[in-house]
Structure 1
Amino acid sequence: MEKVIDITERVPAMKKRRKRRTNFKFIALITIFLLIIVVLLYFQLPYSNIKKIDIKGAALREDAFYLQQSTLQVDDSLWGFKTSEVEQSIAENEWIKSVDVKRKFLNDVEITIEEWQKVAYISKDGEFYPMLENGVIFSEANEIIPIDAPIFLEFEDEALRKKLLKQLAELKPEVLSQISQINANPSETDPYAITLFMNDGYEVRADANTLGEKLNYYPSIIAQIEQQEVFEKGVIDIEVGTYYRPFSDVYTLNSDVEAESEEGGQEEKQNDEQQEQQTGEE
């Protein structure tokens, strides 16, 4: 025979389960209520205000400039602004590559700035203006001769200048730091010809279209030249292939050409004078 459980025996167990459920619901409601109170107090009291604003990545301009651009101030509400609007305000500057604004912890704001890389300077009216990899000439000049990037001279062609800046941005930092000065030497046969004067005394003849690819091998080229028992600094040509000529050969050749030109000019002058004398005698 099956045992029949009296309903009166199940009533205490049912009461216990019902009491546990009621207690759990009550605790959950109290917890939610307390959380709401804490959140409301957080927003109402100064605890939700900005205590610190960190600017990271600034190099071309000071932190104070970017802080002013953000329109944020200490003691402003941490939740009273949109990060996208702050990012857009700072990104309007043409030397800015990207901006990231984040709320950190309960009271901090972190603004991370990425500027376009400074790769060269251009000389104007005796001052040196930084040039960035995106082609922008930065508005604030250096009063002293810069040593942290090459100087552009005789670069009136804006398209050539922008092309070369992009190429310089592809160089390894240790190679870029070796360049002292860059001159434009365009011709009818090669409108992109340039000459680089290096800090270690060498000259490099190159093409602005392929500079970034070829000049990164500069350290190994110099190492091969200086491995010779007797070597002389000179001109490294990487326009088409890669070859090297000592200064004594390059500039002796140029001197000979100039001397021949002068001699030819003197001979023409003497011939002209003789013809004038003969005409006068007649």
Structure 2
Amino acid sequence: MEKKVVSLEDRIPKLQHQRKQKTNRRLISFLSIFFLLILLVIYFQSSLSKVGSIKVEGNVHVDAKEIINLSEITTSSGFWNINTKNVQKSIEEHLQIKKATIEKKFPNQVVLVVNEYESMAYLEDQEAYRPILENGQVLKERTVNIPADAPVLIGWKKEEHIKEMMSELKKLSPSIFNSISEIHHTPDKTDPWLVHLYMNDGYEVMASVRTFSKKMNTYSKIVSQLDEDSKGIIHFEVGTYFESFTPLTTMEEDETINENER
């Protein structure tokens, strides 16, 4: 079988064309990198490399200016020099902010997204009511309207007591939490944590903050055992028993309700 022979004269134009293509590709790559570097230099020398705008989202109680001040970001800050972890930590030091995230949007916008602690109750304060956050922080804002969407704390003076109460309220089931109207702090010599509750269904409860959530989560089961027409006080201090508002007339009414766990 005869082999096809290609002369050197025929191969030279092809080699020259391939070398030219390779040289052109290198030149294009070099020029692309060169112009990209020029654009980067222009960008970092221009105002576009600085923060152009700062936006705050998710805030309800905390003022946006206060959050921006905590972030320490200004329009003089370098857009790419922002340390998001440090900014997040600074904002979350605020007692009313649970979580903060920092978003960078090209070319130079910064968005500070915050998640505040929710309002769980209200503190009665000189014929007005101040919201209490889930972490126990009492807000300065006041309303004269009686709150209907959360329990009202009455007679609470110390911050540590309020925080302990909020911690216990968070452990309640939603149905029991929503059935509480007022929580009065009524300490005595034997129990400085004693509370007196007024419920939306007409019952009252005496309990201790130290065992509050554990005892109160049995409230619905206790009430289901009582006569609907018999209102009174359910005691959760030590044992569990029911004290009727009306005088006892029969031996059956004089019986106490033992704890369900016994």
TM-score, length-normalised on structure 2? 0.70
Match of 2:244 among 226, 240, 250: 250
Match of 1:232 among 229, 233, 236: 229
CA drift at 1:103: 0.8
SS at match of 1:195: strand
CA drift at 1:24: 1.6
- 8 Å contact from structure 1 (residues 186, 192) kept in 2: yes
Matched residue, 1:277: none
Matched residue, 1:279: none
Distance, in Å, in 1 between the alignment partners of 2:111 and 2:217 is: 36
After the TM superposition, which residues 84-103 of structure 1 pair with which residues of structure 2 at under 5 Å, given as runs?
Answer: 84-103=85-104
Matched residue, 2:195: 194
Distance, in Å, in 2 between the alignment partners of 1:220 and 1:213 is: 13
Distance, in Å, in 2 between the alignment partners of 1:236 and 1:141 is: 34
After the TM superposition, which residues 103-122 of structure 1 pair with which residues of structure 2 at under 5 Å, given as runs?
Answer: 103-122=104-123
Matched residue, 1:142: 142
- Structure having the larger proportion of residues in helix: 1
Distance, in Å, in 2 between the alignment partners of 1:20 and 1:242 is: 93
After the TM superposition, which residues 204-243 of structure 1 pair with which residues of structure 2 at under 5 Å, given as runs?
Answer: 204-212=205-213, 215=216, 224=224, 231-232=228-229, 234-235=231-232, 237=234, 239=236
- 8 Å contact from structure 2 (residues 130, 143) kept in 1: no
After the TM superposition, which residues 5-44 of structure 1 pair with which residues of structure 2 at under 5 Å, given as runs?
Answer: 6-44=7-45
Provide the alpha-carbon RMSD of the alignment.
3.9
Are 2:117 and 1:123 aligned? no
Q: Residues 178 and 231 (structure 1 numbering): CA distance in 2 closer, same or farther, change over 3 Å?
A: closer
Gapped regions of structure 1 (runs ≥ 5): 255-282
Higher-Rg structure is: 1
Q: Residues 239 and 20 (structure 1 numbering): CA distance in 2 closer, same or farther, change over 3 Å?
A: farther
- 8 Å contact from structure 1 (residues 152, 183) kept in 2: yes
- 8 Å contact from structure 1 (residues 135, 162) kept in 2: yes
CA drift at 1:166: 0.8
CA drift at 1:192: 4.1
Distance, in Å, in 2 between the alignment partners of 1:233 and 1:30 is: 91
- 8 Å contact from structure 2 (residues 127, 144) kept in 1: no
Distance, in Å, in 2 between the alignment partners of 1:52 and 1:28 is: 35
Q: Residues 206 and 22 (structure 1 numbering): CA distance in 2 closer, same or farther, change over 3 Å?
A: farther
Matched residue, 2:134: 133
After the TM superposition, which residues 168-183 of structure 1 pair with which residues of structure 2 at under 5 Å, given as runs?
Answer: 168-171=169-172, 175-183=176-184
Q: Residues 107 and 173 (structure 1 numbering): CA distance in 2 closer, same or farther, change over 3 Å?
A: farther
Aligned residues: 246
Distance, in Å, in 2 between the alignment partners of 1:214 and 1:62 is: 39
- 8 Å contact from structure 1 (residues 236, 242) kept in 2: no
Distance, in Å, in 1 between the alignment partners of 2:221 and 2:111 is: 42
Gapped regions of structure 2 (runs ≥ 5): 249-262
CA drift at 1:40: 2.9
- 8 Å contact from structure 1 (residues 58, 114) kept in 2: yes
